[in-house]
Amino acid sequence: MEFRHLGRSGLKISEIAYGNWLTHGSQVEEDSARACVRAALDEGITTFDTADVYAGTRAEEVLGRALEGQRREGLEIFTKVYWPTGPGPNDRGLSRKHIFESIHGSLRRLRTDYVDLYQAHRFDHETPLEETLKAFDDLVRQGKVLYVGVSEWRAEEIERALKIADEMGLDRIVSSQPQYSMLWRVIEDEVVPLSEREGIGQIVWSPIAQGVLTGKYKPGRPLPEGSRATDDKGGADMIKRYLNDDLLTRVQELRPIADGLGLSMAQLAIAWTLQNPNVSAALVGASRPEQVRDNVKAAGVRLDADVLKRIDDVLGDSVVRDPAKTRSPEGRP
């Protein structure tokens, strides 16, 4: 495993990080989830990312139990706040009330006294940004949170937060967690240039495009049984935009590139995201330990300019680049 700084902060994280979004507490049994976490630890992963909303808070509980007994100082545990975790009008968003109540719930479920990174899971259009940032800063001063980040915020939203933090003398955002892959590059035109200037690192999710970049989905063929595309717990909705024959044909044309480098398709996809110097870590999830072991082999892989150009030539106009595709809900659900 190799390690990178989280943005311009002093915190080092494993460049392959483990995320438990769709698996823990939802798709797989807890014994399997714990086996995946053990595999991640065995492979040198020290960075674990979750969120209070995943699997209705169960994902944090499973991760907390799976990491129990590990040396806390040797781990970086990240979680998030924003989405509804209860039925009430204040059980969501980025108000001071919800942030404080959510962190206490997350700490209890994760079985830890603090989280290394606390992230605003979306931008909250209904709460003053000053209120949100001051609440995060207070948690940092209390020692319950070490660093603050955001997830799926647009460049102008991040820029506003940085300006307010500087004016108010508050802790600055050090990370952004966007979707990013060979197929989904919406952060490249605006978020990445801003982040490079301001010392913000990307922790990217879905580097294999919900599994599409593994090559297991074939054009003109039925969806593999038991795959994410057939999952009725959320995975199918995310992946359906990629399931057209033109794109799937292009993905199959990446296979000779991966084979020539001695990489699996998944390893090539993950390694591709890590070529971006603004990326601090690529998040991988798994339902089986062998998936973890395969994915971590992307750590330290270097792709030369010719390989990157060949990938671009294959994918062509199937790549999504529009920054406007990053959008937080205007009103709370």
The set of long-range contacts for 263-267, using a CB threshold of 8 Å and a minimum separation of 24, is 263/297, 263/298, 263/301, 264/214, 264/294, 264/297, 265/208, 265/213, 265/214, 265/215, 266/208, 266/213, 266/214, 266/291, 266/294, 266/295, 266/298, 267/294, 267/295, 267/297, 267/298, 267/301
**Active-site residue (options: 18, 54, 82, 180):** 54
**In Å, what is the CA distance from 2 to each residue of 156, 205, 257, 299?**
32, 18, 23, 6
Cα-based angle 323, 328, 333 (whole degrees, multiple of 5): 155
219's CB contacts (< 8 A; 6+ apart) are: 245, 246, 248, 249, 252
CB contact at 8 A, 239 and 250 = no
Strands 201-204 and 76-81: unpaired
Do the beta carbons of residue 137 and residue 170 sit within 8 Å? yes
Phi/psi for 134 (5° steps) reads -70, -40
Alpha carbon distances (Å) from 235 to 21, 182, 226: 10, 19, 11
Backbone angles phi, psi at 275, to 5 degrees: -75, -20
Residue-wise DSSP of 88-107? STTSSSS-HHHHHHHHHHHH
Number of Cβ within 10 Å of residue 316's Cβ equals: 10
Asked if residues 91 and 333 have their Cβ atoms less than 8 Å apart, the reply is no
Q: Is 54 a catalytic residue?
A: yes
Query: What are the catalytic residues?
Result: 54
